Amino acid sequence: MSDVDPVIRFRDVSKTFKRPDGRGDFVAVDRLSFEIAKGEIVAVLGKTGCGKSTMFNIVAGLIEASSGEVKVIGRDPFREFDFFRGKIGIVFQNDRLMPWRTAFDNVRLGLQILDTDPERAGDTARAWLKRLGLSGHENDYPHALSGGMRQRVSIARAFAVDPEILLCDEPFSSLDEITARDLRTEFVRLVRQSNKTAIFITHQINEAMEIGDRVMVFHRPARIAYEAKLNPAMTEKALRGVNEDIMRVLAVEHPPQALG
């Protein structure tokens, strides 16, 4: 794979699930195509149930596409599952910390699974906890940490293995606005610093525009309804235009019901 090749490529990818009641299939992703370049942060917006998380799980190799071609670093993430050891990091909507592990041990988890030298794994975990402002909380169990602190631990866990690709599924949605804003800023700084490729799923237009180099809006079943490239040089007016476009595209799918 050369440097100009996309790190993530979806070509006509579809995913169908069997309905739980057994009555036919449910299409979650419908002929979805996109490419993401190295070092790019792509924010994905869409309403609940539009298939964002399904796309996310396909990229992570946790589920297999029903049809189409998925390539991540030039490989199929589902069929070549083991190739991606340490190459993908995920920050989930809920922190998904192991309750029986301390903050330190949770951050160390990925490194232990990757058979990293224990001393190095310990140093890396401590360094990440410190970087995310959690020094002094190494030995705390998750139940003793606040929501923001737990999410910081899960970010540290994802970054600690130094993955090439970061997948984030609404990681700050359950936090208060101030904590979310702080973590968002820290997150973007970390991703840019390490030149990682990232997909960031969110419900919030402002968050998507603040984080992404590009914003993709999904309609249900997952397919791109709108796409816009963003850059720091864009004027206030241009950004407002993108924001309005996104709102319009989101509204088209589910027009507001008239009252009365």
Partner 1 sequence: MTNSRTMRLLQAAAGLIALAAGWQILSMVFPHYLFPPIPEIFSRTIEILTTGSLLIDVLLTAGRIFGGLFGAFILGGILAMIIGQSRTAENFIAPVLTFFQGIPALSWVVFAIIWFHGIEFRVLFIMVMTTLPAFTFQILDAFRSMSKDLFEMTMVFRPSRWTLFRFLIVPTIVPGILTAWKVNLGNAARVVVVAELVGATGGVGYELLRQQQLFDMAGAMAWTLQLVLFVLVVQLTITAIENWALRYRAVSERAM
**Residue ranges in contact with partner 1 by CB under 8 A:** 57, 60, 62, 81-82, 84-86, 88-90, 92, 94, 96, 98-102, 109-110, 112-114, 141-144, 161
Q: What span, in angstroms and rounded, lies between the C-alpha atoms of 189 and 211?
A: 10
The nearer residue to partner 1, 109 or 234, going by C-beta atoms, is 109
From the CB of 99, what's the least distance to partner 1, in Å?
Answer: 6
CB-based contact 209:243 (threshold 8 Å): yes
The nearer residue to partner 1, 110 or 148, going by C-beta atoms, is 110
CB-based contact 149:73 (threshold 8 Å): no
Residue 37 makes CB contacts below 8 A (sequence gap 6+) with 6, 7, 197
From the CB of 141, what's the least distance to partner 1, in Å?
Answer: 4
CB-based contact 175:147 (threshold 8 Å): yes
From the CB of 113, what's the least distance to partner 1, in Å?
Answer: 4
Q: What span, in angstroms and rounded, lies between the C-alpha atoms of 147 and 95?
A: 8
The nearer residue to partner 1, 71 or 181, going by C-beta atoms, is 71
The nearer residue to partner 1, 70 or 161, going by C-beta atoms, is 161
Q: What span, in angstroms and rounded, lies between the C-alpha atoms of 177 and 61?
A: 32
From the CB of 65, what's the least distance to partner 1, in Å?
Answer: 17
The nearer residue to partner 1, 143 or 237, going by C-beta atoms, is 143
Instruction: Choose among 219, 215, 222, 203: nearest CA to 239.
Output: 215
From the CB of 77, what's the least distance to partner 1, in Å?
Answer: 10
